[in-house]
Amino acid sequence: MKKLSITALIFAFCLGMVSSAFAEEEVTCFESRKGASEVVKRDLQPGWPNVKCSPKTGAVLWWGDPFDGTVPMGDTPLLTHVPPGNAVVKPRSAKLAILPLCGTACHNGVIPPTLPKDKKPKAIPTMEGLLPDAKNLQHGRGRIWCLDCHHTTQRNKLVDNFGDPLSIDQPQLLCGKCHGDKMRDWRDGIHGKRIGEWASTGKKRWFTCTECHNPHNVQDGARNRGFIQLEPELPPQLPKGMKDAKHELVHGVH
């Protein structure tokens, strides 16, 4: 009897060690595009996490606070039905290691000494590691190039149709100059994703274009879209007492 309880005690102790080891491990999961939208799981309040992560896909399944880490979206043409301050986004600059530096470290208007005279696709040997096949960029495949999107002299900025700089945090204004239809759909909540308050005038976080699309390989190979399919999650647990969800099949049918 005594022996058993000691064994049980040791077992319980080990279990405690294992679970505490798990609890201390840092959990990172992605919000939309793997490798470009990672968040670290933490408690907003004791027992209230900022996100719940899928153990299956590593994607975020639930947000404890949809506005965590967001900033006002900034001016977006014709986004008028939402009061200012109620349209928010997560700034991209926080996720980009290199771009915020591009304008100061290398391309400060001096280096490279000669700026390209046109936007014709060329190979860029110095950037091969970062962006393979710059000459045949998998976005437009030769029809658009770096300087259609990146500002010529301010390389930490994007560029609009007039050659004026745009913030990296508002990629929708860049994408919208060529994909105007998608930009309008996105603004109105038809394309992409929004989370937050349900009411049309309520506060919402818009996921920005580059949180989902990699601007450099939207047409990667045969996939043509740049999306990697995820395996679907398991269906949600049924409420207590319900054996199956067959009743849903007859819903609304008379």
State the virtual CA torsion across 199, 30, 93, 212 in degrees, nearest 10. -70
Q: How far is the CB of 8 from ligand HEC (least distance, A)?
A: 49
Element (H, E) at 148: helix 146-149
Please return the burial class of 162, using the count of CB atoms within 10 Å of its CB with bins 0-12, 13-18 and 19+: exposed
Among 38, 68, 148, 160, indicate the residue that binds ligand HEC (CB under 6 A).
Answer: 148
Question: Does 177 sit near ligand HEC (CB under 6 A)?
Answer: yes
Chain mean position to CA 254:
43
In the complex, the smallest distance separating the C-beta of residue 5 from ligand HEC, rounded to whole angstroms, is: 54
Among the candidate windows 45-53, 81-89, 108-116, 122-130, which touches ligand HEC by CB under 6 A?
A: 122-130
Instruction: Check binding of 216 to ligand HEC (CB under 6 A).
Output: yes
Kindly state whether residue 207 participates in binding ligand HEC, applying the rule CB under 6 A.
Answer: yes
Cα–Cα distance, 29 to 52 (Å, whole number): 9
CB of 182 to ligand HEC, least distance (A): 4
The bridge status of strand 204-206 relative to strand 194-196 is antiparallel
DSSP type of residue 27: P
Phi, psi of 69 (to 5 degrees): 75, 15
Exposure string for 65-76, b = 16+ CB within 10 A, e = fewer: eeeeebeebeeb
Binding window for ligand HEC (CB under 6 A); candidates: 5-13, 79-87, 170-178, 235-243: 170-178
Q: Three-class SS of residue 159?
A: strand
Site track 38-67 with ligand HEC (rule: CB under 6 A), x = hit:
------------------------------
Residue range at the interface with ligand HEC (CB under 6 A); choices 19-27, 47-55, 81-89, 147-155: 147-155
Q: Which of 31, 88, 107, 150 binds ligand HEC (CB under 6 A)?
A: 150
CB of 64 to ligand HEC, least distance (A): 19
Q: Are 90 and 70 in contact (CB under 8 A)?
A: yes
Q: Residue 181 gets which letter from DSSP?
A: H
Which residues would be at the binding site for ligand HEC (CB under 6 A)?
A: 32, 36, 92, 96-99, 102, 124, 127, 130-131, 134, 137, 139-140, 143-146, 148-150, 158, 168, 171-172, 174-179, 182-183, 186, 191-193, 207, 209-213, 215-216, 218-219, 225, 227
